[in-house]
A and B are shown apart, each in its own frame.
Chain A
Amino acid sequence: MSEATTTVEAPQRRLFLQRVPWRAIILIGLSAILLVGIVLGTAATLQQGRFSGADWTRLAVGGVTRGSVYAIIAVGYTLVYGILFLINFAHGEVFMAGAFSTLFVARALDEAGMLNGSPFLSIGILFASSMLISMVVAIVLERVAYRPLRGSPRLILLITAIGASLFLQNSFRGFFGAGSTAYPNIDVLVGQMSIFGVAIQRKQLIVILGALILMVGLYLFIERTKTGRAMRAVGEDKEIAALMGIDVDRVIVTTFAIGGLLAGAAGILFVFVFNQVNYFMGFVPGIKAFTAAVLGGIGNVLGAGIGGILLGVLESVGPRLVLTGAGIPSPDQLQPVVAFGVLVLVLLFRPGGILGSEEEKRA
């Protein structure tokens, strides 16, 4: 072997071509086109003046409301992901289970005349029922489907989660039937008010406030309590957490339970807004909430909140604002395109999400 003959054969020109960051160019080009499209579409829409300022406010408030529900569901994804690195695909079903089952509680209350007789107590009961049921479903889910797979490759866990999602969905379909049912009306939720000149429906206000309280409570719980700290520790290193005296299994169950409680609460908030339940209701909000969690930076509780509200507003305002001007009929049909489009863009440019850490180290 002679060292003298060692030459590196690489024509300078080819090296140059190879070095061109094609992917970056394509991405930047793509986003430039998108940006121009969004600006043009928006300009055209505003010029047409089909919607008044009040219309936009209404859409935005609607978006924040919807986003608040996404945010609360998203927290469940984020908590579980932060600990098990599992996309708990069945979390949408946990949410559905609470809201769907509580329908019968609501009906019973309605028949007893309590629902509008003592509405606040009744609303409390509804929340309690929904949260409890969702929590139980979440705990059973963890015990039956996920615990036996602790330590398995992530693909296996994800597939299990998809299976559990289908199973739960169709179990409830079997239990309660396939049709959509309306919740009985709660009169105190009806009505409109104005805050700082912004018209807002009473139920929207309750949803937004409720979500805010839950988020703040959760944040404090995770950052300030011993259990919260244990949850974060388990998320970083299970074995060492055990070495600190933390019962890892119990912490994981607690995490699922909290995710379930929040999903149950989100279920009732959802009912306040949409007033309807069916066995399939968890699926789409579930996916959207997951999108929101990723948007904000999965594993990050605050990120889930911000991501949820952002997604809600974008979804609500985006299609009309951008697409109406482009002459596209029924822009609201394209809402999911906005949601997933945003997800794809965020992951492309900021894989860690808005609040996520940037250092996605590769080697």
Chain B
Amino acid sequence: MSLLEVTGLSKRFGGLAAVDDVDFHADEGEIVSVIGPNGAGKTTLFNIVTGFYEHEQGTIEFGGHNIAGLQPNQITKLGISRTFQAVRLFPAMTVLENVMVGQHSRSRSGVFGSILQLPGTKQEEQRIEEKAREMLAFFGRALLPRADELASGLAYADRRRLEIARAMATEPKVLLLDEPTAGMNAREKEEVIELVGRLRREMGYTIVLIEHDMPVVKGVSDRVVALDFGRKIAEGTYEEVSSNERVIEAYLGTEHAETA
């Protein structure tokens, strides 16, 4: 059974169909890439799954439960976490604090605990910090030594890393990455390919990513889904999708199809 299963999903903005009757699923432990031209509905799909947009039709099931209509924070708590196309950190918080916010839905202390400094609250705070450091440590020396610096002071690639670390701190089962290699150079892209592999291997995540860079798509995906004008036009292995005529016509162009 699929961990995340979307069927017949539709969403319009004004008269424009952003997502049109899309079926989509991700099995446990799978890495799925979503490709397609701009405005094909990739990010809209993410936004619907994570509860930021309401959809008009279709079902979204996560682990066998219908999650349509839930608030984003509730969906995060159930175990779906995401990053954003343009990196969106809390710039005035430290690197560590950013990740600690990710632990929000895995902790519970409230106003009274905080005011009275109950032992439980103190312990929880300690646990949150430990967990956050653990997530930073996943990225080796890139983030942990800078735990107390401002997030806004990080270099661009590190910001992308921090965003992933923050998403990891929500302890998700499914991780949605929105263009994790945007604005990166070839070497950094290589690193992302490796990182995505590690995320599955070491953390056991199921990963869905939106990606434009075909070598990256080739490097990481078990399965590729191609969208165009809100509709799914192809699905399958990288080889299958990249040689699909409709994908070549709508998205890849001839040159890429040949190199693929």
The answer on direct contact between A and B (beta carbons under 8 Å) is: yes
Residue in contact with A363 in the complex, picked from B13, B52, B62, CB distance below 8 Å: B52
Q: What residue in chain B is nearest A8 (Cβ atoms)?
A: B63
Asked if A26 CB lies within 8 Å of chain B CBs, one says no
Which A1-57 residues have a C-beta within 8 angstroms of B?
1-4, 6-8, 10, 12, 15, 18-19, 21
User: Residues of A within 8 Å of B, CB-based: how many?
Assistant: 17
Q: How far is the CA of A18 from the CA of B69 in the complex (A)?
A: 9
Residues A18 and B74 in contact in the complex (CB < 8 Å), given A8-B62, A8-B63: yes
**A363 close to B64 (CB less than 8 A):** no
Q: Chain B residues near A19 (CB, 8 Å)?
A: 68-70
Please tell me if the beta carbons of A6 and B173 are within 8 angstroms of each other in the complex. yes
**Given A6-B3, A6-B173, A362-B52: A12 touches B65 (CB 8 Å cut-off):** yes
CB of A359 within 8 Å of the partner chain: yes
> Can you list, as one digit per residue, whether each of A328-363 has a CB less than 8 Å from chain B (1) or not (0)?
000000000000000000000000000000110011
Contact B65 A3 (CB under 8 A): no
Report yes or no: B204 in contact with A8, Cβ–Cβ below 8 A: no
Between A and B, how many residue pairs show CB distances below 8 Å? 47
- Max chain B Cβ within 10 angstroms of own Cβ: one of A1, A6, A359: A6
Size class of the B contact interface (CB-based, 8 Å): 20 to 34
Complex Cα distance, B66 from A12, in Å, reads 9
The distance from the CB of A25 to the nearest CB of chain B, in whole angstroms, is 13
Report the minimal beta-carbon distance from B201 to chain A, rounded to whole angstroms: 8
Instruction: Give, as a whole number of angstroms, the nearest-CB distance from A36 to chain B.
Output: 29
Interface check B114, CB cutoff 8 A? no
Q: Roughly how many angstroms separate A248 CA and B47 CA in the complex, as a whole number?
A: 35
Residue from A2, A4, A10, A359 whose CB has the most chain B CB atoms within 10 Å:
A10
A359 and B13 contact, CB distance less than 8 A: yes
User: Quick one: which of B52, B67, B204 contacts A6, CB cutoff 8 A?
Assistant: B204
Instruction: Report A333 CB to chain B, min CB distance, Å.
Output: 39
The residues of B that contact A363 with a CB separation of less than 8 Å are: 47, 52-53, 84
Please measure, in the bound complex, the distance between the C-alpha atom of A219 and the C-alpha atom of B200, giving whole angstroms: 58
Give every chain B residue within 8 A of A3 (Cβ-Cβ): 28-29, 204
Q: Which residue of B lies closest to A2 (CB)?
A: B204
* Contacting pair A15 B65 (CB below 8 A): yes
Q: Which residues does chain A contribute within 8 Å of B79, judged by CB atoms?
A: 8
**CA A41 to CA B35, docked complex, whole Å:** 59
Q: Complex formed: what's the CA distance from A92 to B67 in Å?
A: 48
Q: How far is the CA of A363 from the CA of B48 in the complex (A)?
A: 10
Beta-carbon nearest neighbor of A19 in chain B = B69
What are 12 A-B interface contacts by the 8 Å CB criterion? A1-B202, A1-B203, A1-B204, A4-B28, A6-B173, A7-B63, A10-B78, A18-B74, A19-B69, A358-B14, A362-B52, A363-B84
Closest 4 CB pairs of A and B: A8-B63, A1-B204, A363-B52, A3-B29
16 additional A-B residue pairs with CB within 8 Å, beyond A1-B203, A12-B65, A19-B68 = A1-B204, A3-B204, A6-B3, A6-B204, A8-B3, A8-B64, A8-B65, A8-B173, A10-B63, A10-B65, A15-B65, A15-B66, A15-B70, A18-B74, A359-B13, A363-B52
